[in-house]
Chains A and B, each alone.
Chain A
C-alpha cells in the first residue's frame, strides 16, 4: 500500500512530509499507546504510524498546531496505530482512543483514516489526510446513513495519466516503458487500468516491473528485458520511498529517461517528476482540528484537495544521457 503525502509546514518541498506519510502507511507493527503528556480531559488524539519519538509526521503536525493554534498544543496526544495488515490491532487502538473521549481524532494516513471510520461512526470527529477517495471515505456504510463526522485533506494521486503524457513529451520515441513498483501498487486496478489504456493511445507499451526487496531490484535491473526498456515510470509506492536512491542509481546507470511521483526524487537525482503540491496539508489539518474543536461539525466541512501541481526537471539530465526537449523544460515549475 502506498500513502498520501504530507507537506512541509513552511512550504518547502514536501519530501519529509511525504516520507512521513509513507512511513505511517507502512508503519511498524508494534501496538501500544504512548501519550505525549499526561492525559487531559478530551484530548486531540493523533493516530501515528510510528512510535512518537520516531514519528516525524507527528512532530511536523505538532509544530504546525503549536504555531497556528497554540491553545491546542497541550491537548495533543500521540497514539501509536499499527499499520500494514494489522487490522485487528489497529481497530483495538482506534476503539481505545475513542473510549478516551477525544475532541477529535487525527488520522494522517489512508490506513489510519480508514480505521478511524469506526470511531467516526460512533460519533468521534476525525480529521484525516488520505489518498483514499474522500467521498467513499466519509460516506457512512449501512446500517448507518449520511455522512460521517470526518473531514480532512484528500491526497489522492490523480496524475498518473499526466505523467505518462509528460514522459511521452520528454521522449517522443520511447515505446517500451517500464513501470517500477512493488506488488501492492500493482494491486490497484483503478489506477493501473486507465494507465494501460492511455499508454496505448500515446503509442507506449507499459512493462510492469514488480520489485519488493532491494536485492531483487538489482537482479531485476540487470535482466535482459529490462535493459531493453526505453523509459521508466516510477509511481509513488513503498518501494520508491524505501529504495529511492537505489532505484535512481540503477536508472541513471541505464541512462534512460524516467518520470517519478515526487519532487524529492528529482532532488535525489531522478530526471523529472510531476507531483501534487501537498505543502498545504499539515497547516490545513491543523486548522481543521481547531475548527472542529471550536464546535464546527466535521461532517459539514468540505474535504480540501491539492490545487498546485509541480513539474520538476533535473538540470543535468543531458549530462546523464537524457536529452529533454526545450519545450518541456520551459514548462517546468522547478528545475533542480
Chain B
C-alpha cells in the first residue's frame, strides 16, 4: 500500500511523540493517584485520631465528673444520702448523656438510685419514703481489686445503646455506677469534621454500631462485623495504631473510603467513611488536569509532527517531482541545493546526474537521428528491392507466362498437324518439355508468391468427397500411364479449410507419390480423428529415409537415392509445407525405405449444416469436351498475335469455328460478318493500351449480340482489380500459361453450364457450374491450371481408417 513519505514521517513522529506523552501522562497520573491515596490515608487517619480524642475526652469528662462526686467524704457529717442524691442529680444535670446513677456496695446492692425518668430510690431517715428494704442488685464489672474506674460492656435497652461506668469511692463506702446513653456520642461525632460528606461512627468490641449521626441506625442494633472496613480495621489495628484507607460501601450502599482507629475504650473502633468521589475529587481533578495537559501536548505533537514531516519530506518531494519531470524528458530540471546537509548533497548529486543525462541525451538524440536516417535509407533500399522483386514477379508472371502460354498452344497445334511419325515424336517430346517447364516455372512462382505473402487464405466449409473425386480424375491418367493404381477412399465428412489451397496441396502430394512409385498403387484415404479429419496420401514407392524427413520440405531439396532423373526442382513439398502452415493445418509424414510413404494432413472436421449444404459440391456428370466443342462458334480476342493464331489453330483442330480478333472493334466488326452469335468468348484480360480490357469486351459483345454469351478470360497477372471485377461478373478466369486440355475442358464446362441455365432439363449440369466457379477461384492462388474433370465417384476411404501405415501399404500390395 502506497503511503506518502510525508504521511509516513508524520505518523512515525506522531506515534513516538504520542507514545511518550501518553506514557509520561499515565506515569504522572499513576504517581498522582498514589500520592492522593497516601494523602487520603494521612488525612483520614488524622481526622480519625482527632475524632477518637474527642470521644475519649467526652467519656473522660464523664469519668472525671464521677470521680469528683465519688471523692466527696460520703458518710461523714453533712454528706448523707440526701446530699449524695442531690449531688448525683447535679451530676446528671452536668452530663446529659447520663440517664441514671446509683451507689451500690461492694456486692452490688443498691443504696441510692437517681434517674431522669424513673422515680429515685434512696433511704431517708426523715419523712422521705424508704425505697425497698431489699435493694436492687447491680452487676459490677471487675473484681473488688479492679481499677478505680471501669467501663462495662455496651448493652441495649428499649433500643437505646447504654453503657455503665463504675467508680470506686475512695472512702470505700460504695461504688458509683452511672448509665450512659451512647446516642449522645452522636452529638460529639456530629460536630466532628470528616470531610464534606463524610461520616464518623463507633462500634463496640462486638462490632455493634453504638454511635452514628443517624440515630435510627444505632436503634437498629446493627452488627457491622461483616463489613470490609471493620474487618480490615480489626486485622490491621491488631499490630498497629493506624490503618490504611480501604475502599468499601457505607450503610446505604454508597462507595466510600474508610479508615478506622482504635479507641482506648475496650474494643471500640472509630470509623471514618467518606464518599469515594469526594475523597478522590482532588485526585480526579489532578488526573483530569494531567489528562488535559497530555491531550494538549498530543495536539501540539500532532501539529508539530505534521509540520516536521512536511519539512523533512519537502526536499525528497522536490527530488521526486524533479525525477518525474526528468522521466518525462525534461532533463533541464534542477533542484535548489541551499541546504547544508545530506539532502543538499543529494540535491547536488541529482543536479549533476541530470546535467550528465541531459548531455548524454543530447548526444543520444544525435546518434538516434543519424541511425534513424541510416535505417530510413536501408528501409528505402529494402522497399526498392521489394518493388524490384514485385516488378520481377509481375514481369515473370505476365511477360514470361505469355510466351510460355503461346508456346504450349503452338506445340499442341503442331502435334496435331504433324503426320510424320518421326516429326511427331520430336514434337511430342517438345510438348513434354514444355509442360515440364510450365510446371517448374509455376512452382518457382508459387514459392515466390508464398514467401512474399501474396497468398490469401479463404476458408470455407465443403465436402471432402468432391475434392478427392476431382483429384482422382485429375491424376488417374498420370497413374495409369505409369502402370499404377490410384485408389481414392473418400469420406462423407465435411471440413473447414481453403479448398483450393488444399486441393493443390493434395495434388502435389499425389503427384509426388505417382512420381516416386514405380509399382503398386497410390491410395488417398480419409479417417476421423476426434474432431478432425485425417487425409492421407499413401504410396508403395521407394520411401524416404528418416534422415531426410525433416529436409524434404526445404526448397530445392532432392534425395539423390530416389533417382536423379526425376523431373522437378524440389519445390513441391516446400509449397505443401508453406501452404499448410499458412492454413494452420498440421502435416505428418511417415516413411520406410522400400515400403512406401504416408503423408497425413489433419483438417478441422465440420458438422453438416444447411449453409454447408448450400455450397455442397457434387460430382458433375462426365463431360466429353471435344464433343461439346465440335461445331461451336468461338470468339477469341487477344492482342498477342502469336497467341491468337495458336488459339485459333487449336480450336479449329478441336472442330470449332473461330473468329479471332486483336481487340473489341475487330471483334465486333468480325461478328457482323457472321450469321450466328458466338457460343463462347475467350479473351485475354489485357488487350493493349488503347483497347478496353477483356471484361469490357465480353460485356460489349454480349450487348452487341443481345445474348448472355458464356466467356472465359485468360491473364498472365497474379491478381488485381480487373480479375476481381471479372469474377464479380461471374466470368471464369484462367491464368497463363494455360494447358490446352485445361482450356478445352473449361470451355466445355462453361458452355454446358450456360446451356443448362437456358435449358433446365439439363439441370444435372448445374452442379458442374458450381464446381466450375470453385475451381476458377483456386486458380487465382496458384496460377496453376487445374483440370476440371470430375472423378468417377467417391470411394469410402474411411474403410482404411484405423490401420497403421504398414498395414495399409501391405493391403495395397495385396490388392494389386
Does A284 contact B215, Cβ atoms closer than 8 Å? yes
- Residue of A whose beta carbon sits closest to that of B91: A331
Report the minimum CB–CB distance from B80 to chain A (whole Å): 12
A307: chain B residues within 8 A (beta carbon)? 160, 181, 183-184
A332 to B90, CA, bound (A): 9
Proximity string of chain B (197-223) to chain A, C-beta cutoff 8 Å, 1 when within and 0 when not: 000000000000000001110011000
Roughly how many angstroms separate A172 CA and B181 CA in the complex, as a whole number?
31
Known pairs A327-B86, A331-B93; A304 contacts B120 (CB<8 A):
no
Q: Digit string of A302-336 for contact with B (CB within 8 Å is 1, else 0)?
A: 11110111010000000000000001001111000
Name B82's closest neighbour in chain A (CB-CB): A327
Q: How far is the CA of A328 from the CA of B469 in the complex (A)?
A: 162
Are A162 and B159 in contact, with the CB atoms below 8 A?
Answer: no
Of chain A, the residue at the smallest CB distance from B116 is A309
Contact with A along B53-89 (1 / 0, CB 8 A): 0000000000000000000000000000000001001
Judge whether A331 and B90 touch: CB under 8 Å.
yes
List the B residue with the shortest CB-CB distance to A168: B128
A302 with B220, Cβ < 8 A, contacts A203-B127, A327-B86, A330-B86 known: yes
Is A244 an interface position by the 8 A CB rule?
no
User: A-side binding surface: helix, strand, loop or mixed?
Assistant: mixed
Of the residues A159, A162, A302, contact of B219 by C-beta under 8 Å: A302
Of residues 295 to 341 in B, which have CB atoms within 8 Å of A's CB atoms? none
- Is the CB–CB distance between A202 and B93 below 8 Å? no
Chain A residues in 8 Å Cβ range of B96:
308
Asked if A287 lies at the interface with its beta carbon under 8 angstroms from chain B, I say yes
Q: Are A165 and B129 in contact (CB under 8 A)?
A: no
B117-A203 in contact (CB<8A): no
Q: A327-B86, A330-B93 are in contact. Are A301 and B119 (CB under 8 A)?
A: no
Segment 189-223 of A: residues with Cβ below 8 Å from B: 198, 201-203
Of chain A, the residue at the smallest CB distance from B130 is A201
**Cβ-based interface call for A161 (8 A):** yes
Asked if B118 CB lies within 8 Å of chain A CBs, one says: yes
- Residues of chain B lying within 8 A (CB to CB) of residue A327: 86, 89
- Is A172 a contact partner of B127 (Cβ separation < 8 A)? yes
Q: With a CB–CB cut-off of 8 A, which chain A residues contact B219?
A: 302-304
Across-interface contacts of B128 in A (CB, < 8 A): 172
Report the bound CA distance from A327 to B120 in whole Å.
15
Known: A203-B129, A302-B216, A307-B183. A165 touches B119 (CB 8 A): yes
Q: Find residues 202-250 in chain A having any chain B CB closer than 8 Å to their own CB.
A: 202-203
Hey, which chain B residues are within 8 Å of A333, CB to CB? Answer: 93
Answer whether residue A158 sits at the interface, using C-beta atoms and an 8 A cutoff. Answer: yes
Contact partners of B214 in chain A: CB under 8 A: 287
* B220 / chain A contacts, CB cutoff of 8 Å: 300-302
> CA–CA, A332 to B94, complex, Å?
10
B90 & A330 in contact (Cβ 8 Å cutoff): yes
Query: Number of B residues contacting the other chain (C-beta, 8 Å)?
Result: 26
Residues of A within 8 A of B120 (CB): 165
Within 8 A of B (CB), among A128-162: 151, 158-159, 161-162
Per-position binary interface string of chain A over residues 44-76, scored 1 when its CB falls under 8 Å from any chain B CB and 0 otherwise: 000000000000000000000000000000000
Partner of B159, one of A202, A288, A302, A308: A302
In the complex the two chains form, what is the Cα distance from A240 to B158 in whole Å?
30
The closest CB in chain B to the CB of A284 belongs to: B215
Bound-complex Cα distance A311 to B159 (A): 25
Q: Please indicate the chain B residues that have their CB under 8 angstroms from the CB of A284 in the complex.
A: 215
Measured between C-beta atoms, what is the minimum distance from B338 to chain A in Å?
Answer: 72
A309 B215 Cβ-Cβ under 8 A: no
Per-residue CB proximity of A279-305 to B under 8 Å, as 1/0?
000001001100000000000111111
Bound Cα distance from A201 to B184, whole angstroms = 33
Q: How far is the CB of B216 from chain A (nearest CB, A)?
A: 5
Q: In chain A, what residue has the closest Cβ to B117?
A: A158
Given contacts A307-B183, A307-B184, A327-B86, contact A201 B129 (CB under 8 A): yes
Minimum C-beta distance from A267 to chain B (A): 19
- A172 vs B214: C-alpha distance when bound (angstroms): 42
B158 closest partner in A (C-beta): A305
What residue in chain A is nearest B83 (Cβ atoms)? A327
Asked if B184 contacts A161 (CB within 8 A), the reply is no
A161 touching B119, Cβ below 8 Å: yes
In the assembled complex, which residues on chain B have CB atoms less than 8 Å from the CB atom of A304? 215-216, 219
Residue of B nearest to A330 (CB): B90
**Minimal beta-carbon separation of B101 from chain A (angstroms):** 12
Please state if A162 and B216 are interface contacts (CB–CB under 8 Å): no
Query: How far apart are A236's CB and chain B's nearest CB, in angstroms?
Result: 16
Q: How far is the CB of B128 from chain A (nearest CB, A)?
A: 8
Least CB distance from A313 to B in Å reads 12
Given A158-B117, A308-B96, decide whether A202 and B129 contact each other with a Cβ distance below 8 A.
yes
Q: When chains A and B are docked, how far (Å) is the Cα of A61 from the Cα of B795?
A: 132
A301 touching B216, Cβ below 8 Å: yes
Given known contacts A172-B127, A201-B129, A304-B215, A162 and B90 CB-to-CB distance under 8 angstroms: no
- With A172-B127, A307-B183, A327-B86 in contact, do A332 and B93 touch (Cβ < 8 Å)? yes
Complex Cα spacing A159 to B115, Å: 11
A301 to B159, CA, bound (A): 12
* CB-CB under 8 A for A162 and B116, given A201-B129, A202-B129, A307-B184: yes
Interface members, chain B 733-790 (any A CB < 8 Å): none
Chain B: CB-nearest residue to A325: B86
Q: Are A161 and B118 in contact (CB under 8 A)?
A: yes
The CA of A73 and the CA of B292, in the complex, are separated in Å by: 40
Inter-chain contacts of A151 with B (CB < 8 A) = 216
Given contacts A172-B127, A304-B215, A327-B86, contact A162 B184 (CB under 8 A): no
Interface residues of B in 579-595 (CB under 8 A from A): none
Decide if B181 touches A159 in the complex (CB within 8 Å). no
Q: How far is B92's CA from A333's CA once the two chains are assembled, in angstroms?
A: 10
How far, in angstroms, from A189 to B93 measured CA to CA in the complex? 31
Taking CB atoms, residues of chain B closer than 8 Å to A202 are 129
Decide if A162 touches B89 in the complex (CB within 8 Å).
Answer: no
In whole angstroms, how far apart are the Cα atoms of A261 and B399 in the complex? 163
Distance in Å: Cβ of A109 to nearest Cβ of chain B:
21
Chain A residues closer than 8 Å to B158, beta-carbon distance = 305
Select B118's contact among A162, A203, A303, beta carbons within 8 Å: A162
Q: Which residue in chain B gives the minimum CB-CB distance to A162?
A: B117
Shortest C-beta distance, B62 to chain A (Å), equals: 15
Kindly state the separation between the CA atoms of A159 and B220 in the bound complex, as whole angstroms. Answer: 25
Provide the bound-state CA to CA distance between A203 and B214, in Å: 43
State A307–B116 Cα separation when bound (angstroms).
10
Give Cα distance in the complex from A183 to B302, angstroms.
90
The docked-state distance in angstroms from the alpha carbon of A331 to that of B214 is 30
Contacts of A172 in B (CB 8 A): 127-128
A158 cross-chain contacts in B, Cβ below 8 A: 117
Chain B residues positioned under 8 Å from A309 (CB to CB): 116-117
| A27 CB to nearest B CB, Å | 28
- Point out the residues of chain A lying under 8 angstroms from B86, CB to CB: 327, 330-331
B117 engages A159 (CB within 8 Å): yes
- A166 CB to nearest B CB, Å: 10
Whole-angstrom CA separation of A265 from B24 in the bound complex: 73
Cα–Cα distance between A276 and B265 once the two chains are bound (Å): 30
- Neighbour of B89 across the interface among A287, A288, A308, A331, CB < 8 A: A331
* Chain A residue, CB-CB nearest to B220: A302
What's the minimum C-beta distance from B578 to chain A, rounded to whole angstroms? 107
Q: Which of A159, A161, A162 has the most CB of B within 10 A?
A: A162
Question: Complex formed: what's the CA distance from A303 to B96 in Å?
Answer: 21
A-B contact pairs, 10 of them (CB 8 A): A162-B115, A203-B127, A284-B215, A287-B214, A300-B220, A302-B159, A302-B220, A307-B183, A309-B117, A327-B86
The 6 closest A-B pairs by CB, nearest first: A302-B219, A327-B86, A331-B89, A201-B129, A309-B116, A302-B216
Interface residues of B (CB under 8 A from A): 86, 89-90, 92-93, 96, 115-120, 127-129, 158-160, 181, 183-184, 214-216, 219-220
16 new A-B contacts at CB < 8 Å, known A162-B118, A330-B93: A151-B216, A162-B116, A165-B120, A172-B128, A201-B119, A301-B216, A302-B219, A303-B219, A304-B216, A304-B219, A305-B158, A307-B160, A307-B181, A330-B90, A332-B93, A333-B93
